[in-house]
Amino acid sequence: MVEWKNLQRFQVQLTEQIISGELPVLSECLSSQFPSIIKHVQQLSGAPGTPVATSVFMRRYGLFIAAQLYLKAHNKVWDGPLHDIRLTEADGSITFAVNSRYIREAHEDDLKFILNNFCHPVVEALAAKGNIAKLILWENIWGYVLWMYHSLAADKEQGTVDLQLLLADSVWQPKMASSPFRKFLNGRTFTEAATQYQRITCCLYKDLPAAGNCPYCPLSKE
């Protein structure tokens, strides 16, 4: 059974009504309102430029993807459109609000559905507009996916099945030739990666005010 309150740990609010606010919906952030949301992220985080602010934004959106996969591990999916993912703000950070009417039972091909509808188009749009490598954005998502499967869905059989599929190639094809999530393991087991987290790309957080290299940053080894 889904612990719906756990969605709050992913900064996702499930509502029964449309929430309006000053921030654009996700689909607008990928198009006409990209400059606006990046400016807002810069104001919140102090990010010095568009690539860093884009990475900060994707770190937040990675929580939304982890929430989707958390639901999938419990045989549920949120299948609403990108224009119904409302951005909100809480405690100085971007959060998300979605309508509960789009929650349904999961189908066999829903991992590919999640990737094709909520991951690939967002990564591609933000990489192009934010002038940042796609691999950085994918690893921003992976960090929260790794945490979720290791903690909140560790005891779910469906979660184990989903993780193995995400580490294989077929669910990513034809959009991508191979699984970026497996690449991020960097030859380690899932458990090793979860308990001793290390990135293979720099997320650019080092460029935020008063920040240095994260302990798991590849640049920390240099």
- What amino acid occupies position 206? K
The residue written with tokens 């188009």 in the block is 121
Strands (E), the chain: 12-15, 76-78, 86-90, 93-99, 103-105
The SS3 of residue 129 is helix
**In this predicted model, which residue has the larger pLDDT, 177 or 215?**
177
The SS3 of residue 217 is coil
pLDDT at 221 over 70: no
pLDDT at 82: 97
pLDDT at 202 over 60: yes
Domain contains 148: yes
Average pLDDT for 106-123: 97
Domain contains 207: no
pLDDT at 2: 78
Average pLDDT for 188-211: 92
Domain contains 88: yes
Domain contains 59: yes
Domain contains 201: no
Q: Contacts from 45-48 at CB under 8 Å and sequence distance 24+?
A: 45/208, 46/208, 46/209, 47/207, 47/208, 48/207, 48/208
Q: Residue 134: which domain range?
A: 4-184
Domain contains 52: yes
Residues 36-48 pLDDT 10s = 999 999 999 999 9
Residues 54-101 pLDDT 10s = 999 999 999 999 999 999 999 999 999 999 999 999 888 999 999 999
pLDDT at 44: 94
b/e map of 96-135 (b: 16 or more CB within 10 Å)? bbbbeeebeebeeebbebbbebbbbbbbebbbebbebebe
Give the pLDDT band (50/70/90) at residue 18.
low
Give the pLDDT band (50/70/90) at residue 122.
very high
Domain contains 199: no
Domain contains 215: no
The pTM score is 0.95
Q: Cα separation of 2 and 76, whole Å? A: 8
Domain count, the chain: 1
pLDDT at 222 over 60: no
pLDDT at 139: 98
Structure tokens at 23: 């921030």
Give the pLDDT band (50/70/90) at residue 150.
very high
Q: How many CB atoms lie within 10 A of CB 138?
A: 23
